Structure 1
């Protein structure tokens, strides 16, 4: 950006006596133009194609999009016509709406589907461990087929639309930003041949680290294992079985779904797993104050908690409610975006426990009002969660265990009482429990007494808040904020046309070479040959010695 300072000085000179008044104002305007110019051209104002996932995944993707928009980038979002959360119209981006084929009967992934999943999850929690494990694998395989079936319908609708594909090619995007939990965005980026950055935590049937970096089940707990990184022999055995189950689901359930699509639209030999590993940078929604340590790769950038920010003022009526708690403070409860309501018996148990507290309670609640609700509890169908957790009156957070909410709790140093219901929520709460910053309850067998005892423990035992505030200090103690780091690496990939120098060649190696089995076979063959040669030489020498002895006799 060029600024003609000579012309600026000439104007100031022509202004005569008014220059002394105008100079500070014009200098301020000039400074604003310079700052805006620098921010808007951090990487040339690139053209970015965005392929997000819906639900809570969209909530954190939108945070990155707003930051990229503020830096002058042109954003285009591909969305389904059936999207729940991704709006068609936005001041931040231009949208392209796709109409995928309708799912088969009984496979509609609407809000009611997640309520059924929750009920099924609670039922499994009451089963014996072996049966629970088997039922969990069966349910996971069925769920993966439904989710990936939806992704397949979406990418098929795009690639089969020649006009849309031509429009996307003509746009000459510099980058694809996608959440690869399901691979529609990955396949489109490969088809268009543009660099790719992931906003990622989950991929295929497990945690994304499993695809990008070595993952040893001896100390890396698998999805839904409920283990820490310090496992005994039986736990390591179960963890290994879960590791095998994830690999089998990936190869036997997921990849076969895309075979026909790859055959129709990609060159011979195209492989889904290789495409998924080809991302230039993986923006991993993980911070190791929360996650257990594990191997990683140079192109993995950890941005866990990038959606967190200082609390903003609450609406006047909500602020008045918070202040009415006086010295006792407030408990905040939210179960996220997917599950509308807990089973009635669980809801009544929670409401009755809340009514016995001297604290005030703000509860994000959808559904029938509990009959045992106390006067101290405020029900809201939506709440400013980050701002409530950052409020000085907030004492505890009752949460289902979604990562967005837990990172906000870590950021603001608020201890957690967990009621995990679905997916990774059980593992997430466990990670905070291991660090002494949370208590976990079993929603399937919850009673008023259990809930009240656990909540009082979190509220009255100072160790929970102390441990969470320690995590908060570690989380904030970074040279660059997670959001700034995410935008830097997105712009880095655009500036350099990719980041292939950060990707390991291990991805192109056959499995037996990756695990050095061919090297082991060669060494065994050489050792065997050497042993055979030594035995042969010794045998011949012994035979010659025996012959000489016989002749001498």
Structure 2
């Protein structure tokens, strides 16, 4: 009996030690909304017993040095993509968009902003150089015995350090330097897969397909220029002259994709792509009392929520006045995340806040409408809770995100160019509020999104732990990333077969010509 008891204790201790053994994870995050969703993932990893270490720069805006759920390593830098720089950039872009035609707006983003984007990546490169030039920091990182590197590959510094430390690499990803991540690795027929920036759906006319191809080529050119001007130089300096950044970036073991196929259009994918769209969404928690009182005061009319995201503190004054005047004409109560000057014509039904529990508000039974800029996080939360959207996209992927909801009947879109003309804002809001089809369509999408065998966050955690258990996931990784483009598209094979065909054709022609001359050669009369 005593022997059985001892064996049982040993077995329990063994099982407990296996369950409680946490991984050691090195993280390279990005500021702004990218940090908001990375933070959700890090908290979940910490709750499962994993040790989290974050590398941040000394001028970090969102990523704090001290935390209860991660350790931090701070790298001193002279420059950073701080709040002031980002705010000024966004204000400039908004001012341009308001007066621009669609064609000039596109070329401004594709060409005019190119220098700004390159400079942003150079600032990140300076951060990476500061890391690699600090030998004590590198020694500390090597001695820490990390199990994997988790990074957002929108910036490239984490990719290079993962290779330097020879660690498995996991992406929290939607963007890879200058484009949507699928296009970097998965087969992507341009005939039915829309490129971000085109505003196309998966049902394209001939001219839309022409636009799709042109935008793809421009994006590839941008990617090549930005990589060659920044990260490729870092690779050659710190990893050796034969290092190729593009190959490194495509060799990640696991790609945690921040989309799913309720939001994204169906398309080919890869075995190491794990979809966790909406992983940051949770059932609504009780609101702070002052917000709950305000929401309940809306009665049967319900509440409208407006937020323009992490980077936009306030729209131009004339625009906010137009929006405030429109809100004042509505019977609904409005909660508006707004940090600028108080609009002069703000109605009694509108509450201005610096911060709000967006997910919890969207999940409240009285929520009727979400007015948003179209960032991935907000769009996913609206989809999760089944709330229709009026979108005001500003830049980058926002219009395309909102187009996916509009195409499925759950949203209306207003451009920044037309927002304050002819009461367009009020008309769009009233249409979505009064037409029940918008809410019905979003609730249908919500049911589809939630009907999964495993929650997106749990799925992401499982696969990260899978990579740690098996020291990578090479068996899921295609070798296509090692192939030059002419081999990937079989251009060399096509040219070879075409050459063989020409050789055979030429040989047959020569043989037939010789045969003809032999058979049909006129006889010479002999005397």
TM-score by length of 2: 0.95
| 1:505 equivalent in structure 2 | 479
1:501-540 equivalences under 5 Å are: 501-540=475-514
Q: Hey, what's the Cα distance between the residues in 2 that align with 1:525 and 1:112?
A: 56
2:279 pairs with 1:273: no
Conserved? CA contact 2:90–2:312, under 8 Å: no
Conserved? CA contact 1:43–1:492, under 8 Å: no
Give the 3 Å change call, closer, same or farther, for CA 36–338 of structure 1 in structure 2. Answer: farther
Provide the secondary structure at the position in 2 that maps to 1:417: strand
TM-score by length of 1: 0.90
Q: Hey, what's the Cα distance between the residues in 2 that align with 1:291 and 1:382?
A: 29
1:444 is displaced (CA, Å) by: 2.5
Provide the secondary structure at the position in 1 that maps to 2:54: strand
| 1:469 equivalent in structure 2 | 443
| 1:61 equivalent in structure 2 | 38
| 2:277 equivalent in structure 1 | 304
Gaps of 5+ in 1: 11-33
Give the 3 Å change call, closer, same or farther, for CA 297–62 of structure 1 in structure 2. Answer: same
2:380 pairs with 1:410: no
1:83-482 equivalences under 5 Å are: 83-102=60-79, 109-111=82-84, 113-124=86-97, 126-447=99-420, 449-482=423-456
Q: Hey, what's the Cα distance between the residues in 2 that align with 1:91 and 1:214?
A: 42
Conserved? CA contact 1:351–1:373, under 8 Å: yes
Q: Hey, what's the Cα distance between the residues in 1 that align with 2:4 and 2:328?
A: 68
Give the 3 Å change call, closer, same or farther, for CA 214–325 of structure 1 in structure 2. Answer: same
1:525 is displaced (CA, Å) by: 1.1
Conserved? CA contact 1:346–1:443, under 8 Å: no
| 1:15 equivalent in structure 2 | none
Q: Which deviates the most, 473-482 or 252-261?
A: 252-261
Provide the secondary structure at the position in 2 that maps to 1:445: coil
Gaps of 5+ in 2: none
Q: Cα deviations across residues 460-494 of structure 1 (Å, max 9, x unaligned)?
A: 10100000001101110111110001000000000
| 1:486 equivalent in structure 2 | 460
Q: Which deviates the most, 58-67 or 159-168?
A: 58-67
Q: Hey, what's the Cα distance between the residues in 2 that align with 1:260 and 1:450?
A: 49
| 1:26 equivalent in structure 2 | none
1:42 is displaced (CA, Å) by: 4.9
1:550 is displaced (CA, Å) by: 6.1
Q: Hey, what's the Cα distance between the residues in 1 that align with 2:324 and 2:4?
A: 67
Provide the secondary structure at the position in 2 that maps to 1:327: helix
Task: Quote the RMSD (CA, aligned, Å).
Answer: 2.3
Q: Hey, what's the Cα distance between the residues in 2 that align with 1:412 and 1:37?
A: 38
Give the 3 Å change call, closer, same or farther, for CA 36–310 of structure 1 in structure 2. Answer: farther
Q: Hey, what's the Cα distance between the residues in 1 that align with 2:13 and 2:119?
A: 48
Give the 3 Å change call, closer, same or farther, for CA 157–537 of structure 1 in structure 2. Answer: same
Q: Hey, what's the Cα distance between the residues in 2 that align with 1:37 and 1:361?
A: 52
Q: Which deviates the most, 439-448 or 486-495?
A: 439-448
Conserved? CA contact 2:60–2:82, under 8 Å: no
